[in-house]
Each structure stands twice: as C-alpha cells, then as structure tokens.
Amino acid sequence: MVTRMLGDAFLGGLLVTGAGTLCAVWAARKAAGPLRRLLRAMAGAVASYRDGDFSMSLVVDRRDELGELLQAHNELGRALREQRAHLAQRELLLDTVTQNSPVALVLVDAHQRVVYANIAARHLLNNGQTLLGRDFATLLARAPDPFRVAADAERDTLFSVEMDGTEEMFYFSRRSLLQQGRAHRLYLIKRLTRELSRQEVAIWKKLIRVLSHELNNSLGPIASLAQSGAELVRRGEDVDLGTVFKAIHERADHLHQFLSGYATFAKLPVPRPEYVLWGDLLEELARNQRCRVVAPLPTTPGWFDRAQLEQALINLLRNAHEAGGPADEVEIEVRQSAAEQRIEIRDRGPGMSESVLAQALLPFYSTKRSGTGLGLALAREITEAHGGRLRIANREHRGLSVTLVLPPVPRSNS
C-alpha cells in the first residue's frame, strides 16, 4: 500500500515538472518571436543594401540595446542614401563635363567594345552616331590610317591627317584603368589644329621680336664701325681700317649665318626624288652624327630627295643627342614595304611633356635657350613635301621616338 502511494506521488511529481517545463518552453518561444522577426527584418534590410537599395528603414519601438541597434541601422541607411545622392550629382556633373569636352573620349572594355564615348568622339569616329557596343578596332579601320597606327603604337603620339581638304593635327593617348574591378582602356584624341594656329601666331610674333633684336644687334655695330672708318679716312689715319673692316665682316657674317637658317626653312625647294641605297645614306649620316643602325637595312633602294632627307635626319639625330640621354642609345631604324618607307630615330632622353609635345612641330618653337626651333619643323616640312608625314611619340621607359613615313618606292621602277 505504501509502495503504491509512493509511486502515485512520484508520477504526480513528474507530471507537474513536465507541465512546468512545457509552460517555460512555450513562454520562451513566445518571448523569442519578436526577436526572430526583428532579426529577419534586419537580414532583409542588409540584403537590400547589398543589392543597392538603401530605402528600407526599420520601426524602432524598443528602448533597450536592440532598440539602439535598430536606430544605428537606420542611421547607416540614411548615410548611405545621402552618399548615393551626392555620388549621383557628381556623376551627372562629370558626365556633363566629359560629354561637352573638345577632347574625344572613348572607353572600351577588355573585348574592345565601346562602353562610353562623348559627343566629340561620336562626331570624330562615327558621324555623330552612337558608339556604345561598337567594336573599337572596326571604328578605327574606317578612320584614316594614322588613327589606327597611333592606337597600335601603345604610346602617346602626335600626327597629322588630311580631312575635308585641310590638314588636321591630333594628339593620341591612352590610359589603362579598372572599372568595377574589370580592366578597361580609355582613349583620348585631342584635335590640336586650332590650338596650333593660335600658337603659330604667338610664334610668329616671337620670331619678329627675335629677328628685330638680332638685326639691331648686328646693324647697330656695323653702322657705328662704318662711321668710325669714315672718320679715320677723313683724318687720313688708314692704319686701323683693317681692324674696322674685319669687325664689320664678322658682324655681317654672323648676321648672314643667323638668317640663312630661317631662309632655308622658308625657301625649301621642291624635292627631286632619286634612288638611294640605304647603306650609303646611313654611312654618310654616321660621319656627321653618331648613331647606332638597327639591322637589317632594306635591300631595295629608297626613293626620295637625298640632300633634303639627309638634312632632316641630321637635324633629328642632333636633337636626339642634345636630349641628354646616353649617346650610344641614339639609334636609327629603316623599314620598307610595298606601302611605305619608314625611318625612325630613337633616344633615351627624358622625352617630352604633353604641352611640349603638342608644340614641338611649330616653326621656331624651342625649349633650349640657344635653339632656333627649326630642326623638327624643317624635318616635318621636308617629310610632307615628299608626300609623307612625321610623328613624335614618347617611348616606354623614357625617351623619344621621331618617325618619318614616306610614300613607297614607285612599283614601276623599283
């Protein structure tokens, strides 16, 4: 009997304990419900942020640590919304500036597909039509050849193109960059013709000042010496006349040398092309200016005015040595094909800045204190008189490259 009573009591205790446990579990689950809903709401908000949607805010109806967390979460969303608005405004400003820039801008992806192009680029490369999604190589193939050559050069290049019956000068550069973690390339094509025209006016004004200064420096002493000589003759003191005449001769000779360089540029005769062996030409050049010839040389003779081209190359080699790089790094390379004759002179000097590169071909422009500014300009005149073109580009890892591209050797006589 006692045993049965004890069993019933034990069973009753178990039932009471189980009921209490179930009540505790039910109460805990009921209390945890709002917390689970809160965590799900925060997870959804974070997912929206990840997708770029910062508009979600959570209702804050708690005054405990969870309420502070919700408040901090909402402040983060508000800060992200403000930053996005500021970025959108800056992107709009940047797009307005780039779209209306006179420099043609083309951004291509790793597959050479255009992902951005401004108005100047559309007019230059596609008659004002959109470039988005177009293959950049195809666009360049439809443009004049110098554009394609400049794009393939992998360095900043200055070149001229005949467009609509006039010669246009362009500066071509490219930059590599990452956009959204992917490699892109930005091409910049700057039309320099108007800028060069303004610079030419300034250069001509400078030339007039230089000529006036030099003429006055020479003619003033000559007039003074002539007056002194006349006074000596009047006095019958002809012993010192030899010194007077010698000084007059020296000043006149200096003036003649000074003006002859400008006269050569202004009165360049029409080229008289002839067949010239490349070996003979470069051997003669090496006697005037030290250079390293890149082998092999073309076996077919070239076709050009030897005297004029030799003078142009001497000027370019002299410039290469004066650039300040190692003398044994000055080299000349000749390549000849059915399409063109190409002569390239390279050095390892400091190269040129963008502003200097843009003006380097202007007559009388020089960064050297004693320079006349005629070397590159004369080389350009000689090259274009042959029907060719001249390009200047900075080399990778320092240095400058000047390339003369001449028409091919006539097929009927080659």
Query: In whole angstroms, what is the distance from residue 132 CA to residue 72 CA?
Result: 42
Confidence band, pLDDT 50/70/90 cuts, at residue 102: confident
pLDDT digits (tens, 9 = 90+) for 9-44: 555 555 555 555 555 555 555 555 566 776 776 777
> Where in the chain are all domains bearing CATH 3.30.565.10?
274-406
Query: In whole angstroms, what is the distance from residue 352 CA to residue 157 CA?
Result: 11
CATH for 102-191 (3.30.450.20, 3.40.50.10420, 3.40.718.10, 3.30.70.2740): 3.30.450.20
Residue located via tokens 């049965």 = 4
- The reported pLDDT for the residue numbered 158 is 81
CATH for 274-406 (3.40.470.10, 3.40.430.10, 3.30.565.10, 3.40.50.1820): 3.30.565.10
Confidence band, pLDDT 50/70/90 cuts, at residue 413: very low
pLDDT digits (tens, 9 = 90+) for 310-367: 988 988 998 888 888 888 889 999 999 999 999 999 999 988 887 777 666 665 556 5
Residue 216 Cα to chain centre, angstroms: 42
> Where in the chain are all domains bearing CATH 3.30.450.20?
102-191
186: pLDDT strictly greater than 80: yes
Pairing of strands 292-294, 331-336: parallel
CA angle (186, 150, 102) in 5-degree steps: 55
The two tokens of residue 364 are 């009388």
In eight-state DSSP terms, residue 277 is -
Q: What is the 3-state secondary structure (H, E, C) of 147-213?
A: HHHHHHCCCCEEEEEEECCEEEEEEEEEEEEEECCEEEEEEEEEECHHHHHHHHHHHHHHHHHHHHH
Q: Which residues of 299-320 are buried (b: 16+ CB within 10 A; e: fewer)?
A: eebbbbbbebbbbbbbbbbebb
pLDDT digits (tens, 9 = 90+) for 59-86: 666 677 777 777 787 788 788 888 888 8
Neighbours of 132 (CB within 10 A): 10
